Amino acid sequence: MTPQQIIPFIGGCVSIGGIIFQTGKHADRLDFLWAKVEAQGKKEEYNNKTLYEIKSDIKTLTHDINTIKEDIHEIKDCWKTK
């Protein structure tokens, strides 16, 4: 192997070694980041649950309004026949 082939290989090894060293140096901070991601997942789950509840309430209200409309039409028809 020539020096032109060895130098990039050595540079790559040093770079990877530096990345591994810095990752180990900041391991306590990485643990904090994982907890933060988990908290965001719980927040998203809570938001989805809330949205499903709101959608369910809206469907119930829509059904109730349609029933009221039908009752009003029946009352109007009843009044027209009298």
Tokens of 64: 């109730």
The pLDDT assigned to 81 comes to: 79
- pLDDT score for 54: 92
CA angle 19, 15, 8 (to 5 degrees): 160
- For 37-60, b/e burial (b = at least 16 CB within 10 A) is eeeeeeeeeeeeeeeeeeeeeeee
9-63 pLDDT, tens digit per residue, is 788 877 888 877 777 766 666 555 555 556 666 778 888 889 999 999 999 999 9
- Cα–chain-centroid distance for residue 32? 19
Q: Which pLDDT score, from 0 to 100, does residue 31 have?
A: 56
- Who has greater pLDDT, 77 or 42? 77
DSSP letter at 11 equals H
Q: Where are the domains of the chain?
A: 3-81
